[in-house]
Structure 1
């Protein structure tokens, strides 16, 4: 059964939160697709992942890469699973993929300071609950550590 995780960003940027989540995914031996909603966002994220830390490296490529199937992390704006990922991250209000149940995890990261993002996340929560997925909701505490909320 696919686990759907909702990560509620509040007072935090995706750029600060996503790299550590991707690192943890790779540590577990998972392959990842990160889906956004625009080529511009994907290109900006691609550039950020190369430079976000001097002492870390996240091997990745965009969906346009000729060797996408060999990459541990793919940044995409499209449905599909070019690298046979175990985990799919949805950012920028990207819609749930039709093949949600083919992943071990789907991680929906949403901006709690954006009304449209909150509305989209609530809709996705209701949809996933109706489809019988296991849902968890995460929010950072005052020290920036992720806490599972009820």
Structure 2
């Protein structure tokens, strides 16, 4: 049920972003129902949505690549930041995974190039506004909890 709630929000954000002018494709942040939300779309059936519960639960993410949906809670997807491939970086259910996520998050905030990939599909996503939308690890607004 929780996954469906996040997906509805992700689809809603995606539709909102897709309706915006091309120049507006940049990272967005928001908050709703106890969840900090971060998203980016290219307006062409490619997007990334990250959900960070503020109280209970751990980070989850969803990607749409060429119109095909992927979840970090399922088979996962890769995120490629400036050529560095992170395999399902939102899976934080082990100590090493949680450490990787933190490094990934900081790299994502500073990205010059961003790609998402799964099942042989890949797409570029905008990086504009990432450092403003995604809080730093030491920022009190950072709520992307990990298992460890």
Pick the structure with more helix per residue. Answer: 1
Q: Quick check: which one's strand share is greater?
A: 2
TM-score (norm 2): 0.32
The higher relative CO (CA closer than 8 Å, separation ≥ 6) is in 1
TM-score by length of 1: 0.31
